[in-house]
Structure 1
Amino acid sequence: MSHPTPPGWYPDTAAPGYERWWDGTAWTAHTRTGATVIQQSGPRPGAGGGGGTGARTIALVVAAAVVVAVAVTGAVLLTGGNDSAPTATRTGSSAPSPADTATDGAPGDASPSPSGSPAGEDPTVLVDQLNGITLPIPDGWERVERPTDEMLTMRTVDSEAYYCPGTSSAMCYHGTVTTRTAGGADPTTPEAIARKDIVAAADRAYDEDIIGRPIHGGIMSHRQIAAGPVSVAGRTGYQVRWRVVTGKGPGGYVQSLVFPSAVGSESPVVVRYAFDAGSGGVPLALMDTLTKGIRPIGDSETGGGVGSSVAP
């Protein structure tokens, strides 16, 4: 009998060097750079105080694992491996093989998917599986299937992209929204996280892109135009909003919104907004509309929940 592949990060063969999050039943849109390093803890063999014993213990464990693997493989081959739950390989192993990992179905599915988003995902909703929330995707916006960073992203459509002021190689978008889980190095309260993150949000949107190219002529000044507690999906969060003046172009507005996750240990969720100012920009009121439209996954309430569309 096999077991479902547990949730976790697994290699994404459609994007070499990246890993994709498997939530236990389906692939999500979350990706990150790979190259996870596993280090052996404990004393080194021969370092004194039982190094030889540790080596013999490891050898016994490895040998036992090989025997179990062979036994399971034989059993599945005899039964045909006809399981309804997703498994990593057809030989009964529940861990995905890096060579066989696909971007759709269970880890190890031999048929790769042409898209990185889960099958049947609503195109009008950005689903953040890790944090248990959804955001409505406005009209004229789209989900970014393979973001260059590790944050789930939606932005104005590619047809409205333009070369960032001050460079002829970097592309900019009139509106961008990203979500991520606050890291261990972040402060602990929503207010403290938001006040720290707004600096990084402004720099990422209007100073340098992710590979260090200068954009918009850099940030010349900023002014805080809003800050305070806000209710998000029935939870109390905090937001900070800046108006950014740039060396070239009209500049824009950035906002960092932080609130407790709807799942698990309720780790803080960080939602960043970046809207261009000027005639080609996105209406500033859309920031508040999107914030009000954030819902826990599975909440079908109207007004920005699952299955609805928001006009900019």
Structure 2
Amino acid sequence: MSMTTPPGWYPDPGVPGTERWWDGAAWTGHTRAPGGQAFGPPEPVTVVAAPVVRRRGSLPAIGATAVVLVAAIAVGVVVLGKGDDTPHTASGSKSATAPVTVNSPSPKPSSGPSDDPHTLVDQLNGITLPIPDGWEKTDDAVTGLVTMATKDTYNCPGDSGFCHHGKVTTSTATMTDLKTAEAVAKNDIADAANDAYDHDPVGARLYNGITSHREVKSGSVVVDGRTGYLVRWEVRTGAGPGGYVESLAFPSTVGSEAMVIARFAFDAGKDGPPLALMDTVTQGIAPIGGGRNGGVGSSLPPPSL
């Protein structure tokens, strides 16, 4: 019995010892060594065999100690609740819905054909984002997410390290049964806030943690011609001015149309980016190449379960 196979890295039947990215509907041009770093898109290939299926993010600049990829959130990590001003632990969560997992299979998914310093390219999700003046592309060695941040950094007010005044990441929401942009955004916002201002992936509390939060904006929004949903929180921290965090979810324009999550984290105060910039970046999200993008697929058949 054939079933739709989720996006992921699968053995490339045309090139032994290589994995190729399946976007949920078509093979793409992205390959990598098994479990390793992705290569740039090669020349298109045509192979007829199907592969064997294998079943298989923060505002502060991470210091030299951040050298491991955090693959899961441990039980007991602080998770923000909704509708009050006090954080909740994972054991006190009010929702039984499976959490959204923000996943980026490649360590550097943004590497692509564009060297434009004003454009951030997310190859796996088939989109580009405008890079504002004073911002730049960054490599997040811990999460591997497609990332841009303000160029200037400052000494974090909590644990030692360097922080950015603003940061934006994009990724694919996986390991979730949530079907709508609204559900994905509402389910992601607490994790987005925690990752940005409560603790980094290696546990450092660069702002001495979040002390309270409040929702300042939520609702539907058009992203690249498709209906998405955003949730924006203002958070207060134990040290520093706090900030604003937004989870924006919208359907991908490629493959199986899994949800894309864009996370925004802007410092509050006079040194933080203007909140209107979140909307400007959202309005500038576009398909790679400027038209409707069906991905960089080949004629390989889909993997079968």
The interval holding the TM-score normalised by the smaller chain is: 0.5 to 0.7
1:57-68 equivalence runs, <5 A: none
Instruction: Name the SS for the 1:182 alignment partner.
Output: strand
Is the CA contact (8 Å cut-off) linking 2:19 and 2:33 kept in structure 1? no
From 187, 191, 198, the equivalent of 2:189 is: 198
1:163 maps to what in 2? 155
Match of 2:129 among 132, 135, 138: 135
- Matched letter for residue 153 of structure 1: T
Matches of 1:199 and 1:187, distance apart in 2 = 16
1:124 aligns to 2:118 (yes or no) = yes
Q: Structure 1 pair 125/147, CA: closer, same or farther in 2 (3 Å)?
A: farther
Q: CA–CA distance in 2 between the matches of 1:218 and 1:276?
A: 14
Q: Deviations over 1:223-260 (max 9, x none)?
A: 10111110000000100000011111100000000000
The answer to whether the aligner puts 1:288 opposite 2:282 as a matched pair is: no
Contact 2:40 2:111 in 1 (8 A): no
Show the 5 A alignment for 1:259-278: 259-278=250-269
SS in 1 for 2:37: strand
Matches for 1:136-151 after TM superposition, within 5 Å? 136-151=130-145
Q: How many correspondences in the alignment?
A: 210
1:273 and 1:186 map into 2 onto residues whose CA distance is 23
Unaligned runs of 5+ in 2: 1-13, 22-30, 45-67, 70-106, 293-305
| Residue of structure 1 equivalent to 2:32 | 10
Kindly indicate whether the alpha-carbon contact (under 8 Å) linking 1:203 and 1:219 is maintained by their aligned counterparts in 2.
yes
% of aligned pairs identical? 52
For the 8 Å contact 1:176–1:275, the answer to whether it is kept is yes
**CA RMSD, Structure 1 to Structure 2 (Å):** 3.0
Structure 1 gaps of 5+ residues are: 27-31, 34-102, 105-115, 302-312
Alignment of 1:76-95 (within 5 A): none
* Local SS of the residue matching 2:38: strand
Q: Report the alpha carbon displacement of residue 21 of structure 1 after superposing the two structures with TM.
A: 5.6
8 Å contact 1:186–1:193 — kept in the other structure? Answer: no
Matched, 1:239 2:257: no
Q: Could you tell me which residue of structure 2 aligns to residue 229 of structure 1?
A: 220
Cα 1:144–1:186, aligned 2, differ >3 Å: closer, same or farther? Answer: farther
1:171 is displaced (CA, Å) by 1.7
1-side partners of 2:236 and 2:117: how far apart?
33
- Cα distance in structure 1, aligned partners of 2:235 and 2:37: 34
Shift of 1:172: 1.1
TM-score with structure 1 length normalisation?
Answer: 0.61
Q: Answer whether contact 2:207 2:237 (CA < 8 A) is retained.
A: yes
Equivalent residues of 1:260, 1:269 under 8 A apart: yes
